[in-house]
A and B are shown apart, each in its own frame.
Chain A
Amino acid sequence: MGFFTDTSICIGCKACEVACKEWNQLQGDPPKFTADSYDNTGQLDAQNWRHVQFIEQVPDNNGVIFQPTPIAGGQAWLMMSDVCKHCKNASCMEVCPTGALMRTEFDTVYLQKDVCNGCRDCISACPYGVIGFNEQEGVAQKCTLCYDRLQGGMQPACAKACPTESIKFGYIDDLHKVADDRLANLQTQGYAKAQLYGRDDKVYGGLNAFFLLMDKPEVYKLPNAANATLPTRNNLPGYVGGVATAVVGLIAGLLAFRNGRMSENKTNNTSAQ
C-alpha cells in the first residue's frame, strides 16, 4: 500500500503536517523563519514526517524566471507535500546494522524505535533526507505510513486530512492507474513538464509513495533517475580499493623491512657518524 501525491492540486495548507504531528504525537521543531516562501518547517526530519515544499518560480527584480514552468504564463508557485518514499529498494534498510528498519506486511519501511541504537547510518544513506535524529530519544525517526492506523484498517492521518485529495492512499496498482490518468489529462492541457516520479522502477525499484510533479525532480529536491543510486553500489569498489591498497602497502612494508645491503650500509654510516 502507499501514497500517490499529486502536486498539481496541492494548495500548501499544511493540514497533512498538522495531522501527522497530531496522530504521531510529534512535538515539531521550534518555529523558525526560513526565508523560503511559506515554508516554516524547513525539511523532513525526526519531528516532521510530512513537509510541504513551496517553490516560487516568479520573476526576480530583473524579470528573470529561474527554471520556468509552463504554468500560468511561465510563472508558478509549486507546492509539494513531501514524505518518506517507502522505496522498494530502500537505501536506509541496506545500511542499517541493527535491523531496526524493516519491511512491513504493507510493503512499507518501518523504523523500530526499540531496536534502533542511534548510529545514524540510515540518515547518511537516505537520498531524500527523510530520516532525522531525535535528540530526546536518541534514535532515528521517520514516517511510518501510519503503521498503527493501517493495522486498524484506517488510512494514514495525512491522507485523511488532505482537503484537496492531493495525497491519495491505497493499493499501489490502483494508485498507478489514477496517476496515469491524471498525467494524461495534464499533458493534454499542455503541461509538458508534468511527470510521474517513482511510478516505475527507475528510481529505487519504484516508490510506494510516488508523486506527480509539475517540473523536473531536482526542482523538488528529488534525485533524478541518474542520481538515484543505492549506497551499497560503493561496497565492492570500496573494498576492492582497500584490498589493493593493503596489498601494495604490505609489499612496501616487506621491501622496507627485509634484510638488504643498502640498509646495512646506511646503518654502518649512521654508526660511523
Chain B
Amino acid sequence: MPPAEHFAAAPQWQWWILAYFFFGGLSGGSYALGTLLRFAGGPRHESAARIAFIASFVALLPCPIFLTLDLGQPLRFWHMLVDTSNGGIALRPESPISLGSWALLVFGVFSFVSFLGAIAEIGWFRATSPIARILRSGAGLLWSAIGTVFGLFICGYTGVLLAVSNQPVWSDAGWVLGGMFLASALAGSAALLLLFAGSRRDVDADTTYRIERADRYFVILEAILIALFLVSVAIAGTVTRVLGVWIVLWIVVILGLTAPFLTSRVRGWPPVAAPLLALLGVLALRALVIFSAQT
C-alpha cells in the first residue's frame, strides 16, 4: 500500500484547542464515572460519585471559553448553533464541530443539574435538595445515563473532529482517534477522581481501590488504542511526524500510562504522584496528536 500524500494546509489549532480537548475529556469522563459509581457501585461510593459530578461541571466551565477564544471571530460563536444564512438552527451531522457544539450545549445542562444535586448533598447549597432527591431515584438513573452518553460523546468526538479532515496523521488514523481520546479521557478522569478522593475522608478505601482498578482498565484500553494509532499512521507512512521531536511528549505519555501500575510498587511514592502523572500523560497525548500533524 503506497503511503498517503497530503497537501492540506494546517488549521493552526493550538493551545486553546488543546485546553478544550483536555478539560472537555475530563468533564465527560468524570460524568460517566459519577454515573457508574452511583448506580453500579451503590451508596458506599456515593461520596466519590458526588466528587465526580462536581469535577465534571467545574472542568466543563472553561470549555466554551476556550472554544470561543480560539475562533477568529469570537463574537460569532453563536453561528455554530444558528444558521445565519437561511435561518433556523445550524445542525450539520456530517460536521463533527457542528455536532460537538450541540452536544456540548446539551451535556452542559446534564452536567449542571447533576452538579446542583451533588452540591446539595454535600451541604454546600441546600436549595437544590429536591434535585438531589430526584437524581437518586429511577428518574435520576435515566438522567445520568443520558448525560453519560453525551459526556462520552464529548470525550471522543474531538478525535473524530481531527480525523474528519485531510491532515496527515489525523486523517490517517481516522477510525482510532475518537476511541483513543475517549479511553484517555476515562483514564484521566479516574486519575482526577483519585486526586480529589485522596484528600477527602468521606471516600472510603474500598472506593479508592475500585477507582484505581478502573483506572488500570482504562489505561490498558488506552494503551491498546495508542498502539493501533501508531500502526495506522505507520501504514499511512506518516509515523515519523509523531516521533522525532515529539519523543519528549511520548515519554510523558508512557509515564502516565505506567503510573497507575506503579502506585503500589514504588516505595515513598506520594499519593498524588500517580494521578498527576496520569493527567500529564492525557495532556501530552492530545498535545502530540494536535501539534505533530501541523508542523
Contacts and interface: CB of A to CB of B under 8 A. Distances in A.
- Tell whether A and B belong to one assembly: yes
Interface of A: 43, 45, 91, 94-100, 102, 112, 114-121, 123-135, 137-140, 218, 221-224, 226-227, 229, 231-235, 237-242, 244-246, 248-250, 252-259, 263-264, 266-267, 270-271
B183 to A, nearest CB: 5
Contact of A121 (B73, B97, B205): B97
B156 A259 contact: no
B210 interface: yes
A119 B210 contact: no
Contacts of B98: 97
A250 B157 CA distance: 17
Contacts of B11: 120-121, 123-124, 133
Contacts of A253: 32-33, 36, 40, 186, 214, 217-218
Given A245-B225, A257-B37, A129 B163 contact: no
Contacts of B176: 241
B214 to A, nearest CB: 4
Give chain B's interface secondary structure class: helix
Given A99-B86, A117-B79, 4 more contacts: A120-B11, A231-B171, A253-B214, A258-B41
A43 B8 CA distance: 11
A237 B225 CA distance: 14
Nearest to A264: B206
Contacts of B13: 120, 124
B137 interface: no
B90 A238 contact: no
A231 B205 CA distance: 47
B202 interface: no
B51 interface: no
Interface string B91-105: 010111110010000
B9 interface: yes
B183 A99 contact: no
B188 interface: no
A240 to B, nearest CB: 7
A237 B180 CA distance: 13
A124 B165 contact: yes
